[in-house]
Structure 1
């Protein structure tokens, strides 16, 4: 055993002095290190701010070349987006609808912008409601006197709705553009799940039109589902043809006739789809990208250093200029906008989905913020869990009780649970082609005893009552248990229709007539009292500001309430957006490896459907089945 060495008083003094000096040395070094680190970050931030945008000159063409799906809200964080964009990686890109509308409306009044060029090949267009909102913004820009030129190597019919608003549309000679109509087809899994795998899926629902879960119990769509889908889809399609006819000065009936006679028309054009598009007056001419660039260089300011030979500013750079004008210290009263996009699920959820707790928290923040005088809830959701939807609805009711008006702006889709969270607003706006309704409830419980039997596995045991373990999915579902579950679903439907009746000031019987899971277009929903008026997001903002008596638009500010971004993420996104940051990231092996590890991977429809089935059976404490208000009704 070692005996500790005892030091004398002099030795103790010098050891203590050394410890004090050593501590002081480390303290000074740490102060210097963190001071230099802070200085470095400030310098990088200043460089990023100085080098992030170029000045916009007169006679500039704004080139809008969006990449990725059109969304209400980014589903990735700012740092990840900046990293990938700086390295030229466009996979997983998204385009926020609000940004696209902002850019188009700002360009309309910007004297430096001579014309707007639309390149829509890489835009994964969303639903018809958001597309019609963008199309209206392009039409306003054109009406202001700005020239709009659209070009595509190949366009689908959704991209074409935007291109049709342009003064001129050009298509690559080897490209194509066809109108084909709207279709909605799904995979059905009954035979695969039940006959092949031995998985028995038990469906409990209210409403003969509530078809969201049909693929798990049927081999084809029910007659009711086909009837309802064709009804709202026909309305949306006829409006689409009308929008094209108005923009291109064509006859809607002739557009429809061209689709019916498509085989003969393509044959007459000798299989040349691009030439057929010209014959149908859908486009104005056939040009290569280089030819379009030469044409725009002749019309505008030539710039040999620019990509296509003419002076231009990209959508991203123009948006960055607009963002520099935002004042974070603005103390004017606020109209808050909360986005509810994606499936509604319980708890805290990231952007791109709606969390019962996380979205409710944003609404609660708006209620507690004295500077927030009114709120717009922008809904683009097929619904999801009933309880999570109710959490959000309660916060809407609490906002109104606190004296803050609430207006809902429906986007492409506000159905089932998406309608649940909307119904208590002071007013509901939708586009005529919004998909909404689907007021109904269902629950799914798959059981696996037959599947387990195929591999020689069996479940057995005892319980203190005949219902102990009755909800075990490895056992057959007893009829009495099915009765309990159906009672729960029936109660959920009564809650849904009862709350809608109260919110919409109608009788339960009147709501039931237009409910039962039936899906409507926005125009059909307004006829049936489920929607108050037509209009986009800006109309909803103007309405709620007027309700809050905020005065003219320049007397208040509009702010989106979203999850706070970490300080480092803010710094990194700013740095990556600068020219210097982009150069470093493009040549950094570390950064390239990091970007590749963050690439999102899209799931095919089948995987998504089976994932939904899995989430539907996740246990919820205290209830026998998770009640779902969900609609598979997007386009």
Structure 2
């Protein structure tokens, strides 16, 4: 029989210490586990209860307050659960969808409970003037309906001011400013640093002397062609901006232009007081602090000292009013549909998250529209600088398949629909663009970096053998063989021929006619219309009406508009509902443990990478030459 092991006092001490530590570890783990279990249970109750607890009803004489601290986007770049959690934890600087902002402004126009609108666009980040002009148009329509709009700002950029100018009254903080400086496009150029300093040779292959997307890697300054083309379309957009502001403020565009040219002298004459100068130039109607304006609105409206935002007057903010409007569609709605597919961001191969365009993921949405019997027409909303050629072609093929199935496709261009963004648009039954949309850039390029000289500088050399002449030819640590360069250029030439040939067929023009307006050149929406690259000027609402008319769906109200987006899993939907409720936000906002646990559990949108850098990263077995149809043509 085995005798029990006799341990000394030192052994018993360490064994006892270990038992205590093990017990403590299990205790802490169980506390955390049951804490999370309790939290999830509370969230389940909140999620189930949220559907029955609607938004607070509006009262008479309510002021709608629109003050987005967000980027204006076509499509969210993160999932609803992540957005709801970020908001619950007090996150700032999110995103607001253009469609939601337009919807709120249109609804307020006919809402008898809303008697005025207060707007503050100081923290709104916009990507381009096409979307800003859509919002400005909605504000102008709201003002024309008789609703009073009051704008306030502390420091307004020229894009933000375009929106504020649509108000009946524009007020600026006495210490604030309105900065209108014109349009400029400046980039860094890396040739000297890469080639001369580091020994990295970047080989550029392109078709089109105006295709300047990759020039920074091979030049020390912008080419004359790039400057010529950029100034041409920027002048068109800038003159339209001056006209839009002048119309809203009843000022001559020439007077506005002169004021900008004389800005240095005028600032000195005003003693450096930018706010007073803005008032003298009639850009604003008065100088008030936020508190002074609130007191004025209390007099005009209804005092409300208990409001959560501490404004002092009865109001509803943008998020609450959007929630009040409710869901746009219901699964029980049996009306025919116009489906809207948003193609926003860079075009890459495969599955891509929201905010980017995937050759597979975006094609799947278009295919879903084709296979859904309720969908009778499709609007493709494009806001993209382009990207990979093959991924663009995958999407274009789905557009053609929709048309072959008898479903019309209308494209609505946003701020930017250039290069690959134009590739996916060109076959539509009709293309709409804003006059200030940036489009065109019909061209192809490829970049091949070579690090042989850079490695030589540090004494690293590449050598070896291959079974054929071209084995290892694409190795970036070997000098690029001139014969290989001719192969790559031939591939790029073929890509350009494919691009112009498809545009010619889609636009019913000759290849020669398309080549004259292609070669990588960028156009404003108005200039693209004049050259036959788009069919009509208008916004998303116009495109939807056109698509419905082509499908013979009747007047608005007889059909519904449905945005096709990647469906959420049941758990993601539950989390979005729970975290988005007032109780959920209060609970999560006060729970550091919940914040850490849930934020780690939620999938996060990947960090945006520089597009060219990502495109140059070859995966094993990938095509050795990737043609890119991309345009660095934003401001």
Alpha-carbon distance between aligned partners in 1 of 2:172 and 2:52, rounded to the nearest angstrom? 38
Shift of 1:130: 0.3
Partner of 1:357: 360
The 5 A counterparts of 1:229-628 are 229-306=230-307, 307-324=310-327, 326-593=329-596, 609=610, 612-619=612-619, 621=621, 623-628=623-628
Contact preservation (8 Å) 2:207, 2:444: yes
Alpha-carbon distance between aligned partners in 2 of 1:370 and 1:599, rounded to the nearest angstrom? 33
Alpha-carbon distance between aligned partners in 1 of 2:473 and 2:45, rounded to the nearest angstrom? 65
Alpha-carbon distance between aligned partners in 1 of 2:123 and 2:66, rounded to the nearest angstrom? 11
Aligned length: 595
Shift of 1:220: 0.7
Contact preservation (8 Å) 1:49, 1:578: no
CA RMSD of aligned residues (A): 2.0
More moved, 191-200 vs 240-249? 191-200
Contact preservation (8 Å) 1:191, 1:219: yes
Alpha-carbon distance between aligned partners in 1 of 2:118 and 2:420, rounded to the nearest angstrom? 39
Alpha-carbon distance between aligned partners in 2 of 1:452 and 1:481, rounded to the nearest angstrom? 21
TM-score by length of 2: 0.91
Shift of 1:43: 3.6
Alpha-carbon distance between aligned partners in 2 of 1:43 and 1:477, rounded to the nearest angstrom? 64
Contact preservation (8 Å) 1:52, 1:578: no
More moved, 80-89 vs 394-403? 80-89
Contact preservation (8 Å) 2:488, 2:625: yes
Q: Does 1:183 align with 2:198?
A: no
Partner of 1:24: none
Q: Does 1:205 align with 2:206?
A: yes
TM-score by length of 1: 0.91
Shift of 1:620: 7.8
CA offsets 1:266-302 (integer angstroms, 9 cap, x no match) = 0111000111100110011110000010001100111
Cα pair distance change 1:594/1:538, threshold 3 Å: farther
Partner of 1:630: 630
Alpha-carbon distance between aligned partners in 2 of 1:69 and 1:366, rounded to the nearest angstrom? 28
Contact preservation (8 Å) 2:431, 2:535: yes
Shift of 1:258: 0.1
Q: Does 1:82 align with 2:84?
A: yes
Partner of 2:227: 226
CA offsets 1:485-517 (integer angstroms, 9 cap, x no match) = 000000000000000000000000000000000
Cα pair distance change 1:527/1:542, threshold 3 Å: same
CA offsets 1:114-160 (integer angstroms, 9 cap, x no match) = 10110111111220000000000000000000000000111100000
Partner of 1:28: none
Alpha-carbon distance between aligned partners in 1 of 2:544 and 2:426, rounded to the nearest angstrom? 17
Alpha-carbon distance between aligned partners in 2 of 1:324 and 1:219, rounded to the nearest angstrom? 52
Q: Secondary structure at the match of 1:632?
A: coil
Contact preservation (8 Å) 1:52, 1:579: no
Contact preservation (8 Å) 1:617, 1:625: no
Partner of 2:63: 61
Cα pair distance change 1:49/1:601, threshold 3 Å: closer
Contact preservation (8 Å) 2:615, 2:626: no
Partner of 2:18: none
Q: Secondary structure at the match of 1:553?
A: coil
Shift of 1:593: 2.8
Alpha-carbon distance between aligned partners in 2 of 1:52 and 1:175, rounded to the nearest angstrom? 39
CA offsets 1:505-550 (integer angstroms, 9 cap, x no match) = 0000000000000000000000000010000000000000000000
More moved, 511-520 vs 194-203? 194-203
CA offsets 1:160-213 (integer angstroms, 9 cap, x no match) = 000000000111111111210001111111111111111110000000000000
Q: Secondary structure at the match of 1:136?
A: helix
Q: Secondary structure at the match of 1:593?
A: helix
Contiguous gaps of at least 5 residues in structure 2? 1-37
Contact preservation (8 Å) 1:429, 1:534: yes
Contiguous gaps of at least 5 residues in structure 1? 1-35
